[in-house]
Every structure is written in C-alpha cells, then in structure tokens.
Structure 1
Amino acid sequence: MEPITHFMTGAVLARSGFNRKAAYATLAMTLAAEAPDLDTLWSIRGPIASFQHHRGWTHTFLGLPFEAAMIVGLVWLFHRWRLRGKDPETSQQPIHPRKQTAPIRWVLLYCFCLIALLSHILLDWTNTYGVRPFFPFDPHWYAGSIVFIFEPIIFLLLLTALIAPSLFGLINSEVGVRKPAFRGRGWAIFALLAIVALWTLRFVEHAKALQLAQTTDYNAAPVSRVFASPFPTNPFHWETIAETPQFYQLASVDTRNNLVTTSTQADVIYKPPTTLATLVAKRSWLGEAYLDWSQYPIVTDTGTNEEGLTTVTFRDLRFFYDTPFLTGREKPPLSGAVFLNDDRRIVRMEMDNHVQH
C-alpha cells in the first residue's frame, strides 16, 4: 500500500485500545506501521538497486524484531529529550498527566510496534506486488492480489476514524460535555472491522474472477494458469490474465454479472521469441532481479533504436491495465529496459525510464 495508508493504519490501531495501555503507543505504532518502507533508501544507489531491495528484509518476519527495537529506541530518545531539566525520579511518569494518562511501559510498547509492523506486511500482501515474509529461508513472493495499491475505501475509513472523534469532540465541548482522556476507540474498531469485511468481500470476488477467467473460451486454446488484478474502489471489477501455450489473453471481468469482456486482437499478448539479446538481458542485474520477482514477465527484443543499440524490455502483465490512477496499457509501471551494443554487451539499464548509473 502507499505510505499514507500505512501511517493511518498504525494510528488507528493505536486508537483501538493500545494507547490506553502504554504511553507513546500512537507515536510508536504510527512510525512502525510505515517503518518497513525504509528500504526505499536503496534508491540512493539507483533505480535497479531500489527495485531489487524493495520489500526486502525490512518486510520479513526476521527483520521485524530489529525494526521494532529501532522504533522503541527512537521513542525512548524522544522521551529523554522531553525530560531535559526535569526530575529523573519522575521519568517514568507521563509528562502531561492531563493529556496522557497511560503509563510508560517500554516492553509493552515493543510488542505494540511488532503488531504495527505486521500490519504493514499484511497490507502489502493484499496487493499484487507481493511480499517475501519468510526470506531468506523462503524466497517465494506471496501476493493476495485483492486490493489495489491505493484503495479509496480503506483510505476514507481510516481517515474518518482519525478525524471524526475530533469533530465530535468540538461539538461536545460546545455543549459542555467533559472531554474523555482517550477518544476514538469505537471509530477505530469500526474502521478496522470494516476493512476486514472489505477484504473478505474482495477475497470472495477474486476467487470468482479467477474461475470466470479459467472457464472462458479463448479460441479453444488450453489455459494453464490464470491471474486476477484488483481494480480500485469496485470489488466486482477485475483485470485477468489467462496463459495459453502461445499467448496471454487479457480480459476485464465483472463478477457481479459474471461477464468477461475481452478482444481476440487488442487483448492478446503473444509470447515473444527468445533471441540472443534477450538471453544476455535476462542474465543482467536488472534481468535477474526482474525475473526473480515477476510472475508474468514479457521480455521483448524490440530491435535497434536510434542510437544503434538493441533494446530488450521487461514488463509484467499483472500491471498491464488502465485504472484512474495509472495507464498500464500505454506505460506499464515497473518496467525495465536493457540496451546492448553490436557485441551484445550491456551499455545501459533503465527502470521506469530512470537510468542506473
């Protein structure tokens, strides 16, 4: 999921009751819910390094205990900074008793951070990109593929859970109602349960989409496997891939009406032939990283460009569709290119049109 949803998930989790058990729970869980995406720092070393290490060890069960310790350490430093010039004997008491009544419990806070970190892996698993939670023991990518990377319904549920208590608090203050120490627990629990209900609906509809894609006739071609990518907002709209021996058939599926819309021309992607250039490109840094991650790779030798270089493109059919947030048909996201000279030596590599230096 995108970062804002992760941050809000951590904050809503804290408001569901954890903030009543330990001070700094909201701060720690909000940070922890997004902490695994620290692997984006690999982008400093270039787009291919960023792609290779994205959702790497920071998104694994092995890495979570260390990330939780890091977050608690940062919160502890923040706590010590707030205590500057104050009596050390009161360091385990809330700084502002009227605003913060929960005691400081570092061990409990560490456990809460683990929960928030797990929420990050869970949210990322629901997307098509996938995660490798058991790496390095199991390098397999796992993806639920039931929620688009940005889901407006989930975003609005989380945002409402965070804003509504403050709005109702303003109304209550106008009528003289006493302000509670902790607000928003009911809203937070409702939002989390609604998200689980949405996941359940999408899981069921995802299975229907796969079944429809599997049973559709594609000019009598045998189907070896199918895949369904989620569409934002609408849980009944899916984009599917059906693999046959010679080609991939793309389709738009409406699970509410059991309709499969496809074109034998526009939605057919023939499997590209293997050439010497594609063999070299597959053994490149980009090629090995891409094929390790991609489930439906299309590696194409597009010939010689205006620079006289042979271009080999890497695309993943899972993202080859249009939504209000991306134009996957025209410019598929997460695409790469390897450029080779006449001697079949790699001259340049690009990821999403960004050159790896």
Structure 2
Amino acid sequence: MDNLTHSLVGALIGQTGLKRKTGLNIPALIIGANLPDVDAACFFWLEGVEHLGFRRGITHGPPAWLLLPLVLAGMLWGFDRWQAKRGKRPEGRVPVHFGWLYLLGFIACLTHPALDWLNVYGIRLLEPFSSQWFYGDTLFIIDVWLWGLMGFATWWSLRQEKRGETWRKTGRQALALALVYIGVNGAISTYVASSAQAANPQATQVIASPLPVTSWDREVLLKVDYGYWAHVESSARQDLARPNKISVSPCRLSTATAGANSQLDAFLFWSRALIAERAEDGSVILRDARFYDPRARDRFSLALPDVECEPLAPPSP
C-alpha cells in the first residue's frame, strides 16, 4: 500500500492507547509502519526495471520484522539520550522505555507486509527463506476510502484527547471497521475470481484486480488459450463469460533468453501475467497484464531490441 495508508495505521495504533507506554511513541509507530520500504533505496544502485524484482523482498520478510524495529528502537532511544545530554530534551516528554519502543515498532512493522500483501503487486513474505510471491488481490494500492476512514478517525481521536474526552475507543473502532472493510473486499475478490473461473473454464489463471475509487469493482484478468490474456473491465457491468482480449500482438518468448541480462531476469522474476509483445520493428516488449495501462507502460515494461519472438497462433473464438 501507499505510505500515507501505512502512516495512518501507525497513528491509529497509537490512538488505541498504546502511545502512552513510552516517550517517542508516535515516531516509533509511524516510522515503524513505513520502515520495510527502506528497500526503496535500491533505486540508487539498480537500473531500469531491476527494482521490480528487488522491492517487497528482503526488508519485508521475517528477519526484517525482528531486526528493523530493533534498529529503530535503538536510534530513538539514542536520540532521547542525546537530547538529554545537550539539555534539549522536551520537559513534557514521558520517559523513554527501550522495550516499549521495540514492541511498538515491531507491531507497526508487522502491519506493513500485511497491507502490502493485499494488492495485486505481491510480496515475498518469506524472504530470504523463500522467494515465492504472495498476492492478496483485495485492495488497490491507494484506497481513498481507507484514507478517509483512518484520517478522520485519527483527527477525531486526537481532538477528543485534547478535550479530555474518551479517545481510545475511537482508534479501536476505526481499526476494527478498517478490518471489516478489508474483509469484505477480500470476499468480493474471491467471489468474482471464482465466478470468472466458472464462466471461463478454459482459463488457466484468473486475477481479480481491485479498481481505484470504486473498490467494490474488479478488473478480471484471465489467461486464455496459449499465452493470451483477456480482461473484463468491470465485473459489475460486463458479462464475465465474454472477456476482451488485451489489444497487443502477443508472441512466445523463447526460454533461451532467460539469463541473458539482469533486466530480463528481474522482469521475469517479478511478472505475474507476462505479455511478450512484438513491436513494429520486430523487437520484443515485455509487459504485465496487471499494469497494462498507457500511463504505466514505461515503468512496468521492458524493451528487448535484440530478442526475437515467435508469433502465437490466434486464440480460439
């Protein structure tokens, strides 16, 4: 999910009452909720699409769940001591407890892979023990309804706290409602994917991809025939049994091309719905049906000018 969603989850956890356990609680919760995205630093040393095969891996797996909060707690505890030595420590800050800093950071850090699992991009939850991708297909990467719910609840709870009113209940109720919302969307995805599979028994793979804003709708992607992907734009408005073939000139990418370069290896490792498209000059462009959008093609595509691709037979009617 996006970093605003992660931050709001961290803030709401604090508004359940846990923030009273130690000083520097909010930094521990909000930074902890975003900490696994430290792997975004890979853009400094990786080129092209190599980041696709690196992100949501090692910093999102079990060892990171334990180590990243430990580093965060140590830095916050050290910062508090540094401020105290310089006489700059705020008088109103409650004592900083290392154990609670670690626990809060750990809880917040766990919410990050849980949320990242919810969308179609995927996450390698067991890295480095396994490089398998896991997909929740439940929410779009940016969910405005979660923004509204958690943003308003955080603001209202803080306002209640300032007024001396009961504020912990608001944070707890908002998190519970968010879980219900996520559960309902998960059920929608499961139902739509099952219905699409039943309506298209020839499909070898089905992905129910949540749409932005209208989170109750799904774009259904189906792998039909050999190497062709088709889609139904909205499960609520179109017959699942009549998918539209994605408008490309698909071809078969030779397996001999694997290992040819790091860009190709990274893209093949990351891709879930691979499309090998023949360009006008005869070269190959790799895309992924999940992100087959003109606005996203440059980011989620790979041009292979020196690779040939055999045309596929037309799909059966």
Aligning the two structures, in what range does the TM-score lie when normalised by the shorter sequence? 0.7 to 0.9
Q: For the residues of structure 1 that align with 2:173 and 2:271, how far apart are their CA atoms?
A: 36
Q: C-alpha displacement at 1:269, in angstroms?
A: 5.8
**Is the contact made by 1:209 and 1:253 (CA closer than 8 Å) also made in structure 2?**
no
Aligned to 2:107: 115
| Bigger RCO (CA 8 Å, 6+ sep) | 2
Identity over aligned residues, as a percent?
A: 22
Aligned to 2:185: 202
Q: For the residues of structure 1 that align with 2:203 and 2:243, how far apart are their CA atoms?
A: 16
2:221 is aligned, of 229, 241, 248, to 241
Q: For the residues of structure 2 that align with 1:13 and 1:166, how far apart are their CA atoms?
A: 12
Give the structure-2-normalised TM-score. Answer: 0.85
Q: How many residue pairs are counted as aligned between the two chains?
A: 306
Q: For the residues of structure 1 that align with 2:241 and 2:93, how far apart are their CA atoms?
A: 56
| Shift in alpha-carbon separation, 1:70–1:311, aligned structure 2, 3 A | farther
Q: C-alpha displacement at 1:202, in angstroms?
A: 0.5
Partner-residue secondary structure (3-state), 1:143: coil
1:283 corresponds to 2:260: yes
Partner-residue secondary structure (3-state), 1:227: strand
**Is the contact made by 1:298 and 1:317 (CA closer than 8 Å) also made in structure 2?**
yes
Give the structure-1-normalised TM-score. Answer: 0.76
- RMSD value, Cα: 2.9
| Shift in alpha-carbon separation, 1:8–1:331, aligned structure 2, 3 A | closer
Q: C-alpha displacement at 1:314, in angstroms?
A: 1.6
Instruction: Give unmatched runs, 5+ long, in structure 1.
Output: 88-93, 173-178, 305-309, 321-327, 346-357
1:82 corresponds to 2:83: yes
**Is the contact made by 1:41 and 1:50 (CA closer than 8 Å) also made in structure 2?**
no
Residue identity opposite 2:32 in structure 1: A
1:38 corresponds to 2:38: yes
Aligned to 2:315: none
**Is the contact made by 2:199 and 2:241 (CA closer than 8 Å) also made in structure 1?**
no
**Is the contact made by 1:281 and 1:338 (CA closer than 8 Å) also made in structure 2?**
no
**Is the contact made by 1:11 and 1:27 (CA closer than 8 Å) also made in structure 2?**
no
**Is the contact made by 2:222 and 2:231 (CA closer than 8 Å) also made in structure 1?**
yes
Aligned to 1:228: 208
Q: How does 1:1-357 map to 2 (within 5 A)?
A: 1-45=1-45, 46-86=47-87, 95-96=90-91, 99-101=92-94, 103-168=95-160, 172=163, 179=164, 184-217=167-200, 222-246=202-226, 247-254=228-235, 259-260=239-240, 262=242, 264=244, 267=246, 271-274=250-253, 279-280=256-257, 283-304=260-281, 311-320=283-292, 328=293, 331-332=296-297, 334-340=299-305
Q: For the residues of structure 2 that align with 1:332 and 1:213, how far apart are their CA atoms?
A: 26
**Is the contact made by 1:249 and 1:269 (CA closer than 8 Å) also made in structure 2?**
no
Residue identity opposite 1:336 in structure 2: S
Partner-residue secondary structure (3-state), 2:285: strand
